[in-house]
Amino acid sequence: MPTDADPIVNNWYAHLDKGQRFCVVALDDDTGLVEIQYYDGTVEEIERDAWYGLAIEPAEAPENWTGAEDVVEIDDLGTEITDTSVADWNEPLEEIKPEGKRPEED
């Protein structure tokens, strides 16, 4: 079943026969290529004419849309979620001193 869906950058699609989801990451009008990236990070180029012959449909982005992307910190996802509590921010810094050179405790 060929698709009528146009390739749109940053939109997600699903192969109806394979069940794989992928995102369109680039369109090259000069060469007529559609660059897609699967959830696992694999990148593939498809000719625009071949695109319309694929059995695909628009799909929702995966819940964890980062997949194989290099997102190091959860804060990079653009959310308010963080692993640092408010109490951690309010704690004074401890001075770091080399072993053996610490002042004697009273």
- What total number of domains does the chain contain? 1
> Residue 72's pLDDT is what?
47
User: Over the chain, what HEC string results?
Assistant: CCCCCCCCCCCEEEECCCCCEEEEEEEECCCCEEEEEECCCCEEEEEHHHHCCCCEEEECCCCCCCCCCCCCCHHHHCCCCCCCCHHHHHCCCCCCCCCCCCCCCC
Query: 50 or 62, which is more confident?
Result: 50
Task: Tell me the average pLDDT across 61-78.
Answer: 58
Beta bridge partners of 1: none
**Segment 72-103, tens digit of pLDDT:** 455 555 555 556 666 666 666 666 666 666 55
In a domain, 69, yes or no: yes
pLDDT at 69 over 60: no
Domain with 23 in it: 12-90
**Segment 11-36, tens digit of pLDDT:** 999 999 888 899 999 999 999 999 99
